[in-house]
Structure 1
Amino acid sequence: MNIKDIARLAGVGLGTVSRVINNHPDVKDETREKVQKIIKENNYIPNNSARNLKKLSSNTIGVLIRGVFNPFLSEMVDIIGKRISQNDYTMLLRHTDYSARGADEIRNLIEFQKEVKLQGIIYLGCDLKEIDNTTFENIEIPLVLASTNSTYNTEVNNFSYVGIKQIESAFIATKYLIERNHKNIGIILGIKEDIGLASERLQGYKEALIKSNIDIKEEFIEYGGYSTRGAYDAAKRLIAKNKNLDSIFCISDIMAVGATKALEDMGIKVGKDISIIGFDGMEISEFYNPSITTIAQPREEMAEHSIAVLLDIIKNKGENRHIVLDTKLIERDSVKK
C-alpha cells in the first residue's frame, strides 16, 4: 500500500492525498474525511521522511517499524506519535520489511541514525534473537526496542526493551486448548525465516504439548505469512493433511481471522466443530463472527512505556530499562466450551 493506492481508492489526485497527510487547510472536509478513512482502513503509515527532511531539527525522534502491513504496530505508532508531539518533538517514521533480520536490522538502525540528527530511536517489532554488549555498539543515541520478537538478556544495558514473555504467553494459549480436551492442536506461524517471535511462540506451544504428554507433529505446523489470506490458505492445508485436527493456535489475530474464514467456508463451524485461538488482542478479534479467543498484548502500555523511557533518557532523567508486561487471555466464542 502506497500513496498512489490511497489516491486511487479515494478517487483523488496524489496532491490531494499529500495535502491531507500534511494537514494542509485547502482540502474540502468531505474529501479529507474520505482520504483519512481509507488511510485508517488500510493501516497505511505515511513515510514521513521526504516531506519532513526540511523541517527536521535536533528535536526529532525516529520510529523504525518492521513490517509495513502490521495493524498492531500501527496502533502503537499512533500513541507514540501523540506523545512525541505533546513533548514538542517531531516523529520520523521508517519501515523495514519482514525479510530484514540480524545484521540487516543493525545496519538499518545505523543508517537511520546517520540520515538525520535524531535524539533517539524506537524500534517496533525487531527480530533480533540474541543481543550482547557489542550488538548496538555503533548506535550512538538512545534506543528502545518495543513489541520485539524476543525476550532479551537484562544484563545488557546499552538499550531499553519493552515487551512480553513470548514463550510463556504461547504456552498459556496452548494449555487453554488442552484444558478444553483438545489434543490435535495445529499452529499457524508467520514465516519460516523468523528467528524470534515465531520460534519463541512455537517453543511455548511445544512445551505445553510436552507437559501434557501430547506428541508434537510436524504436519500440525503451517505458515500464514502474518496475513489473513496467508492464514486462510494455511488453515485449508492443515485440514487437508489432518482430518482429525480439533483446534488451531494462530500466532496473530489477523491470521486467526483468515483461518476462521477458511474453516467456515469449508462448512466447519468454529467454536463447535473446531476451536481457534489468536494472539494480540486486536479489535477485529472481538467483532469478528464468531468472536475470537485471544491472548491480548498490552499495546497501549507498551507504547506509553516505550516513549516515556526514551524521553527520560533523552532528558537525562532516567537510564535504560527492561520492562516485561503481562498478557491476558480473553475468552470468546471461537473455542468450544
Structure 2
Amino acid sequence: MKTTNIKDIARLAGVGVSTVSRVINGHPDVKDETREAVHAVIEKYNYIPNNSARNLKRTESSNIGILIKGLYNPFFAKMIQTIEKTLAKEGFSVIIHYNTEEHRDIDAAYEFVVEKRLRGIICLGGDFDQVTDVDIERLDIPIVFTSTEVPSGASTALFSSVIIDNEKAAYRATEYLYEIGHRHIGLLTSGGEDRSVGTYRTNGYLKLLGNKGIPKQEHYFEWGSYTFESGYEATKRLLEKAPDLTAIVVISDVMAIGAAKAAKEFGREIPETLSIIGFDDIDYAAYYNPPLTTIRQPVEEIASASAEILLNVIQGEATHQHMVYETQLVQRASCAELL
C-alpha cells in the first residue's frame, strides 16, 4: 500500500504543502478552520509527519535546487549551465524547477525543498521583496537570491544574494536615449505579479524623467511579461495610444525583440523612426536585425558567484554573502540620434 505523504495530505485538505507544514510545526499564521481541516485529514489517514522541513536537512544529500520564475527564459539558460558546472565540480547535482504557480515564490521554494530534499537552493528571478525571517528559516537550508530584488524585511544573515542595481541600470538606459536627443520615451515594463525587478527598472526610468524635468505620461507605459509574444502585443497597444513616441525602453531583450517586430508592422523603421533599447544582452540581441542596443549583465560572473557562495555556506566555509554587480551599456544599431 502506498504510504501517505505530505503532498497527499495537502491535496486531500485542499491546501498547499507549505500550509500543511505550518500546521504540523505549530505556526500561528494559519486560520483555525484550515488548521482543523488539515488535522482531520492527518487523523483520518493516520499520517505520521516525519517528512517536515526540519527533518529534511540531510548532510548526505547532494541535490541543489534552482527555482526559476516563469517558463523558459533565454537569459537564465547560460546562467544555469555555469551553475551546474560549478556545482558538479564539488559533487553536487542540480534539480531545476520552473515556477508558474500564482502563490508566493517563497512558498514554491519551500515546496521544492520538501519534495526534493534539497541541500541548498538558488532562486533565479521571482518576487521575494516581502519575504520575512520566518519564511527563510522554515526552509532550513542555505538559499541564494539571484537576479532578483532581495528581501527588504528579512535579516541579511539568513540568506545570500547576487544581483545588479536594477534601478541604476534602467536609469542609464533611459539616460542614453535622452543624451542622443529623445524626449518622447515610452516604457515597456512588467506588471501583475512582478513586484521586484520590473518595479525597480520602472523606478529607474521615472527617476531619469524627473531629473531631466520631463513630465510623466501615463499613455507612454505598457505592461507585459518576459516573452517575445508579450513584448509584441504590448508594443502594439503602446504605439496605438502613443504614436508620438520616438524611443522605447524595454525591461528585457526578449520583450524588446517582440517590440521591434510590432514596431515594424506599424511602419516604424528601427532605428530611423523608433529607437528601442533592451535589457540583459542575451545572445539573440547581437544577432537580431538590427542588432539590439541593451544593458549587459555579467551573466557568467553572477552565476558562478551564486554557486560558489552557496557551496561555501553549505560546506561551512563562509557565512552568507551579498554581491552587487555592475552593468554595461552596449551600443548597437537599434537606437539613433535625433538631430
Question: Where on the TM-score scale, by shorter chain, does this alignment land: which range?
Answer: 0.7 to 0.9
- Identify the residue that residue 314 of structure 2 maps to in structure 1: 314
Q: Percent identity?
A: 35
- Identify the residue that residue 139 of structure 1 maps to in structure 2: 139
- Identify the residue that residue 228 of structure 2 maps to in structure 1: 228
Paired residue type of 1:210: G
Paired residue type of 1:314: I
> Does the CA contact (< 8 Å) of 1:222 and 1:234 recur in 2?
yes
Paired residue type of 1:264: K
| C-alpha distance in structure 1 between counterparts of 2:261 and 2:149, whole Å | 27
Cα RMSD (Å) of the superposition? Answer: 1.9
Counterpart of 1:256 in 2: which secondary structure? helix
- Alignment partner for residue 76 of structure 1, among 79, 86, 93? 79
Measured after TM superposition, the shift of residue 273 of structure 1 is: 0.9
- Alignment partner for residue 90 of structure 2, among 64, 83, 87? 87
Q: Deviations over 1:206-256 (max 9, x none)?
A: 000010000111111111321111111211211111121110001000111
| C-alpha distance in structure 2 between counterparts of 1:295 and 1:269, whole Å | 21
> Does the CA contact (< 8 Å) of 1:274 and 1:335 recur in 2?
yes
Paired residue type of 2:178: I
| C-alpha distance in structure 2 between counterparts of 1:150 and 1:201, whole Å | 14
Q: Deviations over 1:175-215 (max 9, x none)?
A: 11111111111111123331111111111110000100001
C-alpha spacing 1:111/1:131, structure 2 compared with 1 (3 Å): closer
Counterpart of 1:94 in 2: which secondary structure? strand
Measured after TM superposition, the shift of residue 152 of structure 1 is: 5.0
Aligned counterparts, 1:199-238, within 5 A: 199-238=199-238
Aligned counterparts, 1:6-85, within 5 A: 58-85=61-88
> Does the CA contact (< 8 Å) of 1:151 and 1:164 recur in 2?
no
- Identify the residue that residue 165 of structure 1 maps to in structure 2: 165
Measured after TM superposition, the shift of residue 133 of structure 1 is: 3.2
Measured after TM superposition, the shift of residue 68 of structure 1 is: 1.7
Measured after TM superposition, the shift of residue 153 of structure 1 is: 7.0
| C-alpha distance in structure 1 between counterparts of 2:147 and 2:293, whole Å | 21
> Does the CA contact (< 8 Å) of 1:66 and 1:98 recur in 2?
no
Q: Deviations over 1:276-332 (max 9, x none)?
A: 000001111111011111001111111000000001111111110011000110001
Counterpart of 2:278 in 1: which secondary structure? strand
| C-alpha distance in structure 1 between counterparts of 2:118 and 2:72, whole Å | 25
| C-alpha distance in structure 1 between counterparts of 2:185 and 2:102, whole Å | 28
Measured after TM superposition, the shift of residue 131 of structure 1 is: 4.2
| C-alpha distance in structure 1 between counterparts of 2:303 and 2:126, whole Å | 15
| C-alpha distance in structure 1 between counterparts of 2:112 and 2:196, whole Å | 22
C-alpha spacing 1:315/1:286, structure 2 compared with 1 (3 Å): same
Paired residue type of 1:65: I
Deviates more, 1:141-150 or 1:321-330: 141-150
| C-alpha distance in structure 1 between counterparts of 2:296 and 2:153, whole Å | 24
Q: Deviations over 1:100-152 (max 9, x none)?
A: 4xxx2222222222223322111111212234433412121111111114575
Counterpart of 1:323 in 2: which secondary structure? strand
Unaligned runs of 5+ in 2: 1-59
| C-alpha distance in structure 1 between counterparts of 2:155 and 2:95, whole Å | 30
- Identify the residue that residue 197 of structure 1 maps to in structure 2: 197
Counterpart of 1:136 in 2: which secondary structure? helix
- Identify the residue that residue 96 of structure 1 maps to in structure 2: 99
> Does the CA contact (< 8 Å) of 1:281 and 1:296 recur in 2?
yes
| C-alpha distance in structure 2 between counterparts of 1:106 and 1:163, whole Å | 17
- Identify the residue that residue 284 of structure 1 maps to in structure 2: 284
Q: Deviations over 1:25-72 (max 9, x none)?
A: xxxxxxxxxxxxxxxxxxxxxxxxxxxxxxxx6111111111122111
Q: Deviations over 1:66-93 (max 9, x none)?
A: 1122111122111111112221111111
Number of equivalences: 279
> Does the CA contact (< 8 Å) of 2:133 and 2:154 recur in 1?
no
Counterpart of 2:279 in 1: which secondary structure? strand
Aligned counterparts, 1:262-277, within 5 A: 262-277=262-277
Paired residue type of 1:234: A
- Identify the residue that residue 245 of structure 2 maps to in structure 1: 245
C-alpha spacing 1:150/1:255, structure 2 compared with 1 (3 Å): farther
> Does the CA contact (< 8 Å) of 1:191 and 1:198 recur in 2?
yes
Unaligned runs of 5+ in 1: 1-56
| C-alpha distance in structure 1 between counterparts of 2:88 and 2:177, whole Å | 43
| C-alpha distance in structure 2 between counterparts of 1:122 and 1:323, whole Å | 14
| C-alpha distance in structure 2 between counterparts of 1:199 and 1:281, whole Å | 20
TM-score by length of 1: 0.79
